[in-house]
Amino acid sequence: MNKLWDLRFVLAGLSIFCGAVVALKWASQHFPSQLLIVGSIFLFAVLIRVVWVVVRNNAKGWRVRSISPEGWVYEERHNGAWVGITMAELMDYREPPHVLRIMSASRWTEYPEWTHGRRDEIVARIKAELKEPNYVLQEG
């Protein structure tokens, strides 16, 4: 992952955290019971979302996710661990269409052995998650 991207990610997280601390401090002085109710509902919603994503991914046994501004990964669960193949993002990640490079049929064997003979299935899964026109797979 790009070091500049890491720094921006950390700084953005710290900024959001500091802003939240200041806002919570002010709100707790003025609206203590309402803040507790709203905060509890928000945390419960976040928890439900996280559990739903984990359960869905584990049930499917595969997932597609962004790992950096420059790339995505298709992963499958094998022996209790997630293993995957990366796809580079070829164009500016901030604007669609997001063009992802995936190995062509002739180069597919460069991927790990668990992918061999399953190209059509894996590409279909990726396309099911990353739909056109916002995402385009380019063979390379």
Across residues 97-113, what is the average pLDDT? 91
Across residues 90-97, what is the average pLDDT? 76
Whole-number percent of the chain with pLDDT over 70:
91
pLDDT bracket for residue 2 (50, 70, 90): very low
Backbone dihedral region for residue 89 (phi beyond 0: left; psi -120 to 50: alpha; all else: beta):
beta
pLDDT of residue 139: 87
Largest CA distance in the chain: 65
pLDDT bracket for residue 80 (50, 70, 90): confident
pLDDT of residue 8: 67
pLDDT of residue 51: 86
pLDDT in tens, 14-44: 788 788 778 777 777 777 777 677 778 888 8
Other Cβ atoms within 10 Å of 76 Cβ, number = 19
pLDDT of residue 101: 92
Q: Mean pLDDT score of the chain, rounded to an integer?
A: 84
Q: How far apart are CA 75 and CA 80, in angstroms?
A: 12
pLDDT of residue 93: 67
Q: Is the peptide bond before 112 cis (omega within 30 degrees of 0)?
A: no
pLDDT of residue 9: 62
Across residues 57-62, what is the average pLDDT? 89
Does residue 73 contact residue 64 with C-beta atoms inside 8 Å? yes
